[in-house]
A and B are shown apart, each in its own frame.
Chain A
């Protein structure tokens, strides 16, 4: 099933790297570990892996992960990149996502959740390359979610969402009008985060939709409880 997929883990902390590697191998992946940016680049020179997990802080290079992410994205637009770091600040998250990472995760995430993401991202790449695949669509007004490719369009314009964001939108849009608490959203997105992190996730998602459509108001805040998808625009 997963055989043959090569996953590169760029992490300077050997114990963590080996733990990730062990978990990935257990799930049938081949794993390549690197502790510095240069080592990773050298290895990627001959062949790109199928997915890369990068820590931001790489030994001497405090922001080496960002740099690596930028260089990899320059080489391949398709390569799934997950940034996995101890840094939780909003600025770091935004920076990582701007540089083209498909997901930004903190090290609080458990291995199970990490594996779920790896699987999902690899499946997405597969879906994109397999043109004959049957699209599994979820349509809510102007919103169309392709569950196979994990792509999103709003008013027929594509919206680039990270994996976490996609799952959040999916959780909201699946049952329009129903309030989803923050806990529910976290579970759906396979993350363990704080309330405030969910708030910033929602904020970023809204910003992405509003960038394409200034009139976007489909995500409604229910103060004290959570959020809901308001599907009155396309009806």
Chain B
């Protein structure tokens, strides 16, 4: 695993900081929510305690009362006119309740008068044609509470005002006993009829039942007398034992008490044991955009995103009109105070609701639902907290970024050092000991300095080695001079003939030693010559042509071929050195190639360089020494030839090529017949 990846891993650990910050903010948000819930619950509990002794439901609350058959009168702001139209009712149309598949009704209460508006779908409207004549036509039954079943009948012989009559089960026939406290209006509609009825609250006395008797012609062929289908739709359970459901409304005394509890911005509802709303006051504050300062819009969006709670949507908690049916409230009515959050429309706004039971002794008589508007993310309502969060987040990110950057920097330095160390030894064998980053005071700096020291020593050693042969040659020169001058004198003065073979061998040996020393110092001399050489622009082609012409004379037992594919071959350098270089290459080629073989010199050019290629037949390059061919004192010759050979020729070639900023490489010919040396020299211009 690379150092960068390791450091990246370490750097990633710093992400724990933003994570911790996130958890912190979440905890904070939870605490704030808890706080709000607790305060709301506390208010609700206080109210519940105050309501402990107040009667909640207006009438007796029989056990087992059926929710479906209860009638809830919504409070009306104004008394409607009894005219068969509902448009003057101040209660919303949604407060409708379905009586049956074809009848629905609204119930309302204004002061102490009960209003009922019935809307019946009936395609076959049959009026009462004459008194006491069956069938009695379509009619409405009201069944108020009270000691006995006190049936009231509303029927009509046509549209217009209707009076109510007392009637009796099971036929519910019209009578002449009128109940004047109940009045109504019958109006025909496109789909049936509407009946608006008004009756005093006292008459209702806690219970009220509604029934619609629908009489339709039966479609029977061939009978004289009309036959009818009669169906009764009612709000109570059975005909035999009519027990009308509760009549529920908001009592006056609760209105007075509740109003005192209502706090601005909160909605308070008092409900009965079954969830019927006995009091409803106050308003949830509408959503205000200025919960959070707009200056941190971006941060706010970010926090809202990470703190989003997924509250269930707010539906004003209402089941059937007039009744709260909610899991939370049912829990409260079981005796458990509950608080909950609801999302309201946009994601920024929420409602906190608290529900607590109202008890008298051990009996739960109802509950209080308290609701308050809030920002869904409470933390955001506190500027200081938002700032704190922002600072924490910023600091976390800064630390994480800083650590990551540091890790990157560190890895960069190490990799730079590694790269430099790899390339410190150039392919030409030069050593560049100055590694980057060695001025740094830390351990990487130490490492760079150690490497630099090491490379410096290596370079000194290499330099020592390269100068060794020159020094050696120089040092050996003096003793050799002693020998050779002595030999000179000896040859002059000795006349012992039998010594002459020894003298000539001695001369031969010193000559060879002398040649070896000459070769050893030649490289040094060339190095010096190269360093002193002045650059001139000359035609490579001309020099090579002249040289190859000369070689034809010098090496008469080889065939030379010059292939010049260049048109213009100016290079910057020294013609003398180039000639010397070619001398060495040809010398090399001649010494390896068989007699009378072909030596080819090829000149090519491209846009930037001129290529010089010397090809000869003969043995291939030995694999083991391929990279050292151009080093000094390396010779690949197997047999000892006549001439001195110290492997300096190709070293001198490389030296001259380098002086001309060119490249050299040697390889075998593709067909394996010989060897070629390729030199590329940069051209002028």
Q: Which A residues have a C-beta under 8 Å from some C-beta of B? A: 13, 15-16, 19-20, 22-23, 26, 86-91, 106-108, 110-112, 192, 194-197, 199-200, 203, 221-225
Q: Is the CB–CB distance between A194 and B518 below 8 Å?
A: yes
Chain B residues whose CB sits within 8 angstroms of the CB of A91 once the complex forms: 528
Q: Is the CB–CB distance between B522 and A194 below 8 Å?
A: yes
Alpha-carbon distance between A196 and B564 when the two chains are bound, in angstroms: 27
Closest chain-A Cβ to B102's Cβ sits at a distance in Å of: 125
Alpha-carbon distance between A222 and B542 when the two chains are bound, in angstroms: 11
Chain A residues whose CB sits within 8 angstroms of the CB of B485 once the complex forms: 15-16, 19-20, 23, 111
Chain B residues whose CB sits within 8 angstroms of the CB of A15 once the complex forms: 482, 485-486
Q: Is the CB–CB distance between A224 and B528 below 8 Å?
A: no
Chain B residues whose CB sits within 8 angstroms of the CB of A13 once the complex forms: 478, 481-482
Alpha-carbon distance between A84 and B486 when the two chains are bound, in angstroms: 16
Cβ of B543 < 8 Å from any Cβ of A?
yes
Q: Is the CB–CB distance between B524 and A89 below 8 Å?
A: yes
State which residues 443-490 of B face A: CB under 8 Å: 474, 477-478, 480-482, 484-486, 488-489
Select from chain A the residue with minimum beta-carbon distance to B553.
A225
Q: Is the CB–CB distance between A19 and B486 below 8 Å?
A: yes
If A19-B482, A86-B478 touch, whether A111 touches B489 (CB-CB below 8 Å) is: yes
Chain A residues whose CB sits within 8 angstroms of the CB of B548 once the complex forms: 224
Cβ of B575 < 8 Å from any Cβ of A?
yes
Alpha-carbon distance between A88 and B472 when the two chains are bound, in angstroms: 13
Chain B residues whose CB sits within 8 angstroms of the CB of A90 once the complex forms: 525, 528-529, 532
Alpha-carbon distance between A232 and B481 when the two chains are bound, in angstroms: 44
Cβ of B576 < 8 Å from any Cβ of A?
yes
Q: Is the CB–CB distance between A194 and B525 below 8 Å?
A: yes
**Interface-centre pick from A20, A22, A86, A110 (highest chain B CB count, 10 A):** A86
A-B contacts, 23 listed (Cβ < 8 Å): A13-B478, A13-B481, A13-B482, A16-B481, A23-B492, A86-B474, A88-B474, A91-B528, A108-B481, A108-B518, A110-B484, A194-B525, A196-B529, A197-B525, A200-B525, A203-B576, A221-B579, A223-B547, A223-B550, A223-B575, A224-B548, A224-B550, A225-B546
Cβ of B526 < 8 Å from any Cβ of A?
yes
Chain A residues whose CB sits within 8 angstroms of the CB of B486 once the complex forms: 15, 19
Closest chain-B Cβ to A221's Cβ sits at a distance in Å of: 7
Alpha-carbon distance between A91 and B543 when the two chains are bound, in angstroms: 28
Chain A residues whose CB sits within 8 angstroms of the CB of B582 once the complex forms: 223-224
Select from chain B the residue with minimum beta-carbon distance to A226.
B550
Select from chain B the residue with minimum beta-carbon distance to A89.
B528
Alpha-carbon distance between A227 and B427 when the two chains are bound, in angstroms: 37
**Interface-centre pick from A13, A196, A197 (highest chain B CB count, 10 A):** A196
Alpha-carbon distance between A200 and B514 when the two chains are bound, in angstroms: 20
State which residues 522-559 of B face A: CB under 8 Å: 522, 524-526, 528-529, 532, 543, 546-551, 553-554
Q: Is the CB–CB distance between A199 and B477 below 8 Å?
A: no
Q: Is the CB–CB distance between A108 and B550 below 8 Å?
A: no
Partner of B526, one of A16, A196, A224, A225: A196
Alpha-carbon distance between A108 and B511 when the two chains are bound, in angstroms: 9
Question: Ordered nearest first, which 9 A-B pairs have the shortest CB separation?
Answer: A224-B550, A224-B547, A19-B485, A111-B488, A86-B477, A107-B481, A225-B550, A223-B579, A223-B546
Cβ of B81 < 8 Å from any Cβ of A?
no
Cβ of B493 < 8 Å from any Cβ of A?
yes
Q: A16-B481, A86-B477 are in contact. List 16 more A-B contacts (CB 8 A).
A: A16-B482, A19-B482, A23-B485, A26-B489, A89-B524, A91-B528, A108-B477, A192-B514, A195-B580, A196-B526, A196-B529, A200-B529, A223-B546, A223-B579, A224-B548, A224-B550
Cβ of B521 < 8 Å from any Cβ of A?
yes
Chain B residues whose CB sits within 8 angstroms of the CB of A108 once the complex forms: 477, 481, 514, 517-518
Select from chain B the residue with minimum beta-carbon distance to A202.
B576
Q: Is the CB–CB distance between A196 and B525 below 8 Å?
A: yes
If A108-B514, A199-B580, A223-B547 touch, whether A88 touches B482 (CB-CB below 8 Å) is: no
State which residues 173-229 of B face A: CB under 8 Å: none
Cβ of B583 < 8 Å from any Cβ of A?
yes
Alpha-carbon distance between A133 and B528 when the two chains are bound, in angstroms: 43
Q: Is the CB–CB distance between A199 and B529 below 8 Å?
A: yes
Closest chain-B Cβ to A211's Cβ sits at a distance in Å of: 14
Alpha-carbon distance between A90 and B543 when the two chains are bound, in angstroms: 25
Chain B residues whose CB sits within 8 angstroms of the CB of A23 once the complex forms: 485, 488-489, 492
**Interface-centre pick from B529, B551, B575 (highest chain A CB count, 10 A):** B529
Closest chain-B Cβ to A104's Cβ sits at a distance in Å of: 14
Alpha-carbon distance between A55 and B532 when the two chains are bound, in angstroms: 25
Q: Is the CB–CB distance between B525 and A222 below 8 Å?
A: no
Alpha-carbon distance between A223 and B601 when the two chains are bound, in angstroms: 15
Q: Is the CB–CB distance between B489 and A22 below 8 Å?
A: yes
Alpha-carbon distance between A199 and B577 when the two chains are bound, in angstroms: 10
If A111-B488, A221-B576 touch, whether A195 touches B583 (CB-CB below 8 Å) is: yes
Select from chain B the residue with minimum beta-carbon distance to A55.
B478
Chain B residues whose CB sits within 8 angstroms of the CB of A224 once the complex forms: 546-551, 554, 579, 582-583
Alpha-carbon distance between A176 and B580 when the two chains are bound, in angstroms: 24
Closest chain-B Cβ to A224's Cβ sits at a distance in Å of: 3
Closest chain-A Cβ to B656's Cβ sits at a distance in Å of: 11
Partner of A199, one of B474, B514, B521, B576: B576
Q: Is the CB–CB distance between B492 and A26 below 8 Å?
A: yes
Chain A residues whose CB sits within 8 angstroms of the CB of B551 once the complex forms: 224
Select from chain A the residue with minimum beta-carbon distance to B544.
A223
Closest chain-B Cβ to A32's Cβ sits at a distance in Å of: 18
Chain A residues whose CB sits within 8 angstroms of the CB of B576 once the complex forms: 199, 203, 221
Alpha-carbon distance between A192 and B518 when the two chains are bound, in angstroms: 10
Chain B residues whose CB sits within 8 angstroms of the CB of A26 once the complex forms: 489, 492-493
Chain A residues whose CB sits within 8 angstroms of the CB of B524 once the complex forms: 89
Closest chain-A Cβ to B543's Cβ sits at a distance in Å of: 5
Closest chain-B Cβ to A62's Cβ sits at a distance in Å of: 12
Select from chain B the residue with minimum beta-carbon distance to A13.
B478
If A13-B478, A107-B478, A195-B580 touch, whether A222 touches B526 (CB-CB below 8 Å) is: no
State which residues 546-593 of B face A: CB under 8 Å: 546-551, 553-554, 575-576, 579-580, 582-583
